[in-house]
Structure 1
């Protein structure tokens, strides 16, 4: 069900009853702004998707031995560099 924010304010009990059946999308100036749903549906949606991770957590390896890896980077050859003109 989709309702405007004005309809939501005027018919709160109708929106609450509808939310027990399906999520209610509340629009603001024609754009979806909010979703009203039952608490049980909200809990189910939280279980369905994984917890939020920051970029750092997502990129940090979980294997403790990863820190033991040594990476040798050879020095860059100066022959490949072009002279700089000022």
Structure 2
């Protein structure tokens, strides 16, 4: 998978060639020397977006009810009551 970089002017002048280049990997399109857009095939785009989960999905625990968890009671030696007098 190669990365191709073209200027926006090159992109406008030869869209067909740039689309063919996207078959071999992402094409970065620059505007005044700075990357501004990326051209991907639909397969590459779907591969990238379909596998990524949101932070909510990553933190969700749908099977949490199946987990047996009984936290141990704190030992009184671990803390000291505050004297508020």
- The TM-score normalised by the length of structure 2 is 0.56
Distance 2:33 2:39 in 1: 16
Residue 78 of structure 1: how far off its partner (Å): 2.4
- What stretches of structure 1 of length at least 5 have no aligned partner? none
The counterpart of 1:28, out of the listed 27, 31, 38, is: 31
SS of the residue corresponding to residue 12 of structure 1 reads: helix
Number of matched residues? 74
- What stretches of structure 2 of length at least 5 have no aligned partner? none
- Give the aligned partner of residue 19 of structure 1: 18
- Give the aligned partner of residue 58 of structure 1: 58
Q: Give the alignment's Cα RMSD to 1 decimal.
A: 2.9
* 1:46 maps to 2:45: yes
| Structure 2 CA distance for partners of 1:44 and 1:77, relative to 1, 3 Å | same
* 1:4 maps to 2:7: yes
- The TM-score normalised by the length of structure 1 is 0.55
- Give the aligned partner of residue 77 of structure 1: 75
Residue 70 of structure 1: how far off its partner (Å): 2.8
| Runs of 4+ with >4 A deviation | none
